[in-house]
Structure 1
């Protein structure tokens, strides 16, 4: 995978000609031009020639400006924060689109089945790394208020082997895997084959759909440099509400008991 164009510009800047440095300066100040402008447009903006622009990108290691553009877009698809759109993005519209695409793609019967499994399992194990960890942590905080035996992995500073070895027969594992996934992720999926594993992921995680019990796909958006986790958080909320409905009165009693402990321990603001 090629490097970010801006990083390559920085690395090669000392060896660039004066005209190439003019192009480099322009692209550093206007990084969106890498994916939004043609070689002719960049040449016009920098008062150079199209041939000079082509030589500039070849010096960075690309066959052409189009090759650099595709490399930049591929970086974004792999999860690297790269600017590919202007500042005019409507964040509200982007979030609503992510939520709409996510929930339109989730089958009601699958969500119902997952909710039942989470309610009835002897134990629920949640696993998440990097950006997936906060989503898994929030899921644990919600589930633990309505049912016992919910654990989050990995524990800080701990290995996973012991915990994966002790997976129970009727346990449900919820594995979170959003771009960019760690190298160990694939090995964890392999180690959990044959277990009741629910994978919550972005569209690229569907490559694992033959190795897990269920795949729930969340859309994170592609227009902003950073992905949005509004859809995964919303899905977690939906699943917890379904589990609450499945458990019913026992869930209500548990939340009341926990709230009483909050009061006894003086943990929450009045």
Structure 2
């Protein structure tokens, strides 16, 4: 893999054995906190790693970059769409933000998500889900847990809902049967699989409508009938998915409310069966 093809982290890891001691010291720090390169100037980064400014410049050149700014641009892009390592910082690797700061950030993510989930979009989505021949919830990697959650919630009122992919099966085995009367709920959260765009195109080719739920780093997608972007930023090393969960909950509740008496009857039937099975 040539430097031009490699990620920033891969470049650092490949170069480590050949670096001079001061450069290796900087490289080891950036292996743990690669996102710091996007946040600091050369002087600030040198101070953070306790090396000289010329050491930072030599280090960047050894990685194959023409300039510090070129490296920063790549790190910013990878921080937006890649590893959780890019969210951490050496300056906050100790005590970290307070509990109040964390919850303030979570609330900000809810507010950020709300701006992309307006009432008109929610009304259109819930109507489509309620009238669909079949609803498919699809999640890979981080999206799998949310696809399972959405499937479980919609099952309260939507009888024909399926979770994909099932163990040992391919998506193609199901997508071939999608119709224009169906709705596919696709979760595209970081880190997305390379084939995400191809998956969306294949679903759209069958005429199936798509609700695409993603993080804020994804541009509105041409193959999506509806696109809900969720704020997932975090003061720590993990993405915050409170906005994703809130969006799922709002959609599921909207479907149940729109179903009216039919939903109430189905829920009563659930409870009756659960009581008979002693499955409280």
- Asked if TM exceeds 0.5, the reply is yes
Q: Whole-Å Cα distance in 2 between the matches of residues 151 and 29 of structure 1?
A: 40
Residues 220 and 227, structure 2, Cα contact 8 Å, conserved in 1: no
1:93 maps to what in 2? 104
Corresponding residue SS for 2:212: strand
Length, aligned pairs only:
266
Residues 102-136 of structure 1: per-residue CA shift (max 9 Å, x gap): 11232211111111111222221111111111111
Out of 65, 70, 84, the residue aligned to residue 67 of structure 1 is 70
1:154-193 equivalences in 2 (<5 Å): 154-193=165-204
Give the deviation of 1:253 after TM superposition: 1.7
Alignment check: 8 A CA contact 1:201 1:216 kept: yes
| Residues 21 and 164 of structure 1, relative CA distance in 2, 3 Å threshold | closer
Q: How does 1:112-261 map to 2 (within 5 A)?
A: 112-193=123-204, 194-208=207-221, 210-221=222-233, 223-261=235-273
Contact 2:35 2:79 in 1 (8 A): no
Equivalent in the alignment of 2:52:
49
Question: What is the CA distance between 1:137 and its match in structure 2?
Answer: 0.6
SS of alignment partner, residue 198 of structure 1? strand
1:170-190 per-residue CA deviation (whole Å, 9 max, x = no partner) reads: 222222212222133222211
TM-score, normalised by the number of residues in structure 1? 0.86
Q: Structure 2: how far apart are the matches of 1:97 and 1:31?
A: 25
- Secondary structure (helix, strand or coil) at the match of 1:158 reads coil
Aligned CA-pair RMSD: 2.6
Would you say 1:39 and 2:39 are equivalent positions? no
> Which structure 1 segments of 5+ residues have no match?
none
Could you list the structure 1 runs, at least 4 aligned residues long, displaced by more than 6 angstroms after superposition.
none
Question: Relative to 1, partners in 2 of residues 1:50 and 1:254: Cα closer, same or farther, differing over 3 Å?
Answer: same
After TM superposition, the score normalised by the length of structure 2 is 0.83
